[in-house]
Amino acid sequence: MNIHEYQAKQLFDQYSVPSPQGKVAATPEEAAAAAEEFAGAKLVIKAQVHAGGRGKGHFKNGFQGGVHLIDSPAQAAEFAGKMLNETLVTVQTGEAGRLVRKVMVAEAVDISHEYYLSILLDRATCRPVIVASTEGGMSIEDVAHDTPEKIIRQHVHPLLGLQAYEIRKLAAALGLSGDLAKQFGKLLKNLYKLFISCDCSMVEINPLVTTPDGRVLGLAAKFGFDHHALYRHPEIVAMREPEEEDPREVAASEYDLNYIGLDGNIACLVNGAGLAMATMDIIKHYGGEPANFLDVGGGASKEQVAAAFKIILGDQAVKGILINIFGGIMDCNVIAEGVVAAAKETGLPLPLVIRLEGNNVEAGKATLAASGLNIVTAGSMADGAQKIVEAVS
């Protein structure tokens, strides 16, 4: 799940990670009040959507840019009025754009230097790793590619936690000294605490800045959360905004299905994540384009299969469906009954190829045959992929 900039700021405040002062607003009046509160500082107003490229984006009402400098509470209200409840289109949102429900009024800080700082889990060592660089404000992938010597890494012992010497090492490597090093140390210590306490998979500050008035601040943050740990973080779950997510993925999550929408036209419904990925691959191998990743899990019920079927059919781009089930323990007949029920309910408007193998497969095939529906069966994954690619071409 993603969170908004203002929500990231709330987490930073909660864990005492310094960032520019700012406030979220849902109405022009609230925006004006926030600007009033920070009077004297240079201020910026920013549309809150889960997408990058806001500054260069445009609103469907004609207003240009989702990020603006403001010089008065009146201007804050005026710009908020043009952004709130309007649709912002950026390079990342696609043509449809995103509805702006909130704006943030924040201090626009002067910058002396930009740094990069993140904490993530390193799979190779099974430890958290802190990644830092003096080259902030740009893509860290580019820095790693062009000037790998400018990337500093510090692994942290999972049971001991972040040590003071590790912080000193990082500060020195970034060229920070005196009070700035002290502020950096405090910020990093608190950021590490946040990373662990919130079960983050990643927290990234880019840029981390020093200011002419001698502050160290996290200017822009990105969070990744371990979704398996969300059960113990209701405060983070509360930050989720389903309106910002793919509606098909939201519907799938209600039925405990793993669904990821893609751009192709052949939908697939598979049990098991590995087999689901491999099914997408084999569709592509035979010249088709997968429309989605969909894993119904190892113990799917009839209801889940029916729900999965409807989510697939809700995608207008889909021109054909491939179902690939290896029912090891799962009863193939349960799958067959779920498919038949859903197909009958929806009238099965598209070609459907099913490859069914495993436990109770004969009964499953009999159920499909007796349904009277136009279902093509396949003997193997390759056979199924070839048949569905042919059917949609």
Partner 1 sequence: MAILIDENTKVLIQGITGSFGGRHAKLSLDYGTQVVAGVTPGKGGQTFEDKVPVFDTVSQAVAETGATASAIFVPPAFAADAILESVDAGVDLVVAITEGIPVMDMMRVKEAMKGSKSRLIGPNCPGVVTPGRGEKSQGGCRIGIAPGYIHQRGNVGVVSRSGTLTYEAVYQLTTLGYGQSTCVGIGGDPINGTSHLDVLKMFNDDPETEAIIMIGEIGGNAEAEAARWAKDHCNKPICGFIAGATAPPGRRMGHAGAIVGGDEDTAQAKKKILAECGIAVAETPSDMATTLLKHWGK
Looking at the annotation, which residues are catalytic?
A: 116, 204
State in Å, rounded, how far the first CA of the chain is from the last one. 36
In sequence order, which ranges of 215-315 are alpha helices (DSSP H)?
234-237, 247-254, 273-285, 302-313
Closest CA to 2 of 46, 45, 52: 52
Q: ∠ CA(236), CA(250), CA(265), 5° rounding?
A: 140
Nearer to partner 1, 209 or 305 (CB): 305
d(CA 129, CA 340): 50
Would you count residue 295 as binding partner 1 (CB under 8 A)?
yes
d(CA 348, CA 211): 62
Distances (CA, A) of 259 to 76, 262, 293, 330: 40, 10, 5, 20
Binders in 216-255 for partner 1, by CB under 8 A: 226-229, 231-232
Nearer to partner 1, 183 or 279 (CB): 279
Would you count residue 75 as binding partner 1 (CB under 8 A)?
no
Would you count residue 359 as binding partner 1 (CB under 8 A)?
yes
Among 273, 366, 369, 370, binds partner 1 (CB under 8 A): 273
Among 73, 128, 185, 364, binds partner 1 (CB under 8 A): 128
Structure tokens at 299: 């113990």
Nearer to partner 1, 41 or 230 (CB): 230
Would you count residue 353 as binding partner 1 (CB under 8 A)?
no
The least distance separating partner 1 from the CB of residue 388, rounded to whole angstroms, comes to 14
Are residues 355 and 325 in contact, defined by beta-carbon separation less than 8 angstroms?
yes
Would you count residue 126 as binding partner 1 (CB under 8 A)?
yes
Would you count residue 123 as binding partner 1 (CB under 8 A)?
yes
Residues in binding contact with partner 1, number by CB under 8 A: 53
3-state secondary structure at position 383: helix
Would you count residue 329 as binding partner 1 (CB under 8 A)?
yes
The least distance separating partner 1 from the CB of residue 382, rounded to whole angstroms, comes to 4
Q: Which stretch binds partner 1 (CB under 8 A): 63-71, 88-96, 117-125, 314-322?
A: 117-125
Would you count residue 380 as binding partner 1 (CB under 8 A)?
yes
Would you count residue 290 as binding partner 1 (CB under 8 A)?
yes
Are residues 338 and 353 in contact, defined by beta-carbon separation less than 8 angstroms?
no
Would you count residue 256 as binding partner 1 (CB under 8 A)?
no
Would you count residue 272 as binding partner 1 (CB under 8 A)?
yes
Among 116, 326, 343, 389, binds partner 1 (CB under 8 A): 326
Q: Is 145 exposed, middle or buried (0-12, 13-18, 19+ CB in 10 A)?
A: exposed
Structure tokens at 341: 């029920």
Specify the amino acid at residue 168: R
Binders in 197-216 for partner 1, by CB under 8 A: 199, 201
DSSP assignment of 51-93, as one string? -S--TT-EETTS-B-SEEEE-SHHHHHHHHHHHTTSEEE-TTT
Among 103, 209, 282, 388, binds partner 1 (CB under 8 A): 282
Q: Which residues of the shown chain bind partner 1 in the complex (CB under 8 A)? A: 121, 123-124, 126-128, 141, 157-159, 196, 199, 201, 226-229, 231-232, 258, 260, 262, 270-285, 290, 293, 295, 298-299, 326, 328-329, 357-359, 380-382, 385
